[in-house]
Amino acid sequence: SVYPDQNSASKNVANRIAEIIRAKQEKGEKAVLGLATGATPVKVYQELIRLHKEEGLSFKNVITFNLDEYYPMQPDADQSYVTFMNKNLFDHVDIDAANVNIPDGTLAPDQVNAFCEAYEQKITAAGGLDIQLLGIGRTGHIGFNEPGSAPNSGTRVVTLDDLTRRDASRAFGGKENVPTKAITMGVGTIFKAREIILMAWSETKAEIIKKAVEGEISSEIPATYLQLSDNVEFILDEAAASLL
Ligand code: GLP
């Protein structure tokens, strides 16, 4: 769907998440949310915080799994996705810290594969993702599934694309400071979510959105895999949709 602007689109996504949380709560179950970082979902989180503060939306029965984290990365670093999530959402709602899951950027190389496997199992044990939020990188990555990622890939360590590191360079004060690797849920992990929402705002995303939505399905642009799923919705502002 195309919205006139990022605000109205983000409100709509937040309302959908709130609906899932409340529906699960009524059944006495936990909602399982797959969350994303980056500038794109920030207004969704702001609206969720507003719903919490002003309309009594509780996160007590919410379990979250974040898509990705830089590797290596200390959780208390300014650029970590742990810091991002705390600042933009978790510090402002009543979620139980034990229900928050973000890939661990501190693991030794010989521990990381077991961690990735356990992350997959934890998602499954929680009942699977009710909804997965996605942004899109200019390489066409979802999470950090860069070009070359397989459609059935699972949570794993990946090497970041040069363009991705360039796009992240401002936050790190130079590309040379951006980690070369990340831990990311796989395309296959994302695909198992019962609902997937990919959001994109502004003309800087117009070109990659055109490729993702209309381009040939290929590992060269992992977001094109989303064309294969019936559970995906692209939520765009007019600028991001301008080349469709
Ligand atoms: C990072 C994240 C992605 C995100 C992308 C786009 O690479 N790992 O999950 O979609 O950035 O970022 P932004 O939303 O800031 O454009």
Compute the mean pLDDT over every residue in the chain, rounded to the nearest whole number: 98
Return the residue matching tokens 């915080």.
49
* 170-198 tens-digit pLDDT: 999 999 999 999 999 999 999 999 999 99
Pull the structure tokens for residue 58: 């509780």
Helix axes 6-26, 42-55, angle to 10 degrees: 50
Task: Measure 117 CA to ligand 1 centroid, in angstroms.
Answer: 23
Instruction: State the ipTM, two decimals.
Output: 0.93
Mean pLDDT value of segment 23-50: 98
Any idea which residue has 């179950």 for tokens?
29
143 lines ligand 1 (CB under 6 A): yes
Residue 146 among the catalytic residues: yes
| % the chain with pLDDT above 90 | 100
- pLDDT score, position 69: 98
pTM of the model: 0.97
Report the alpha-carbon distance of residue 157 to residue 171 in Å, rounded: 21
pLDDT band of residue 103 (cuts 50, 70, 90) is: very high
Q: What is the sign of the dihedral through the CA atoms of 137, 193, 17 and 13? A: positive
Ligand 1 within 6 A of CB of 67: yes
Other beta carbons less than 10 A from residue 176's beta carbon: 8
Q: Distance from the CA of 41 to the center of ligand 1, in angstroms?
A: 9
Determine if ligand 1 sits within 6 Å of the CB of residue 136.
Answer: yes
The reply to whether omega before 72 is within 30° of 0 (cis) is yes
In the chain, DSSP finds a helix count (H) and a strand count (E) of 8, 10
Mean pLDDT, rounded, for 207-223? 98
Q: CA 174: distance to chain centroid?
A: 24
pLDDT number for residue 169: 97
Averaged pLDDT, 136-153: 97
DSSP state of 145: B
Closest atom of ligand 1 to CA, residue 36: 9
For the stretch 114-131, pLDDT in tens is 999 999 999 999 999 999
